[in-house]
Amino acid sequence: MTPDAILTSIDIEAENQRVARDTLTELGYDHVRARLIAGRALDVLPRLADQAYDLVFVDGDKAEYPAILQQARRLLRVGGILAFDNVLSNGRVADPGQRDAETAALRDVAHALRDDDHWVPALMTIGDGLLAAVLRGADD
């Protein structure tokens, strides 16, 4: 992070935020460098500033990934990176017989990023999969 950057973390589990705050303090990071927000991502994201973020990392309720994608596009600066964790869902996404809401949401996000010219996506098949995309500018 640049010296003036701020890490914003949203987690529904307040205990996770407490551990993160304690860890950052132990590592010597100034408390003003991290904004830890307890809550549901879809409740918090609409209140964050447009085009104010360089990275949005998502690891939460997979059924919410498509709605989070819409928020991330608004939040990211041009050149910003969006990353969704666990997008392969233990191989479920590649299995056409899997039609549950979570698997369908993961497929929807992958297709949306692939089909939208505003994104340059890449799927990394490490572990349970990481889907990352860079937000293009108008001239890209």
Give dist(CA 125, CA 66) in Å, integer: 20
Q: Quick check: 35 and 7 in contact, CB under 8 A?
A: yes
Taking domain 50-135, whether its CATH number is 3.20.20.70 is answered by no
CATH 3.40.50.150-classified regions of the chain = 50-135
Q: What is the pTM of this model?
A: 0.89
* pLDDT beneath 50, residues of the chain: none
Q: What is the model's pLDDT at position 111?
A: 96
pLDDT, tens digit, 9 for 90 and up, residues 58-91 = 999 999 999 999 999 999 999 999 999 999 998 9
Dihedral angle sign, alpha carbons of residues 20, 83, 134, 52: negative
Q: Quick check: 123 and 129 in contact, CB under 8 A?
A: yes
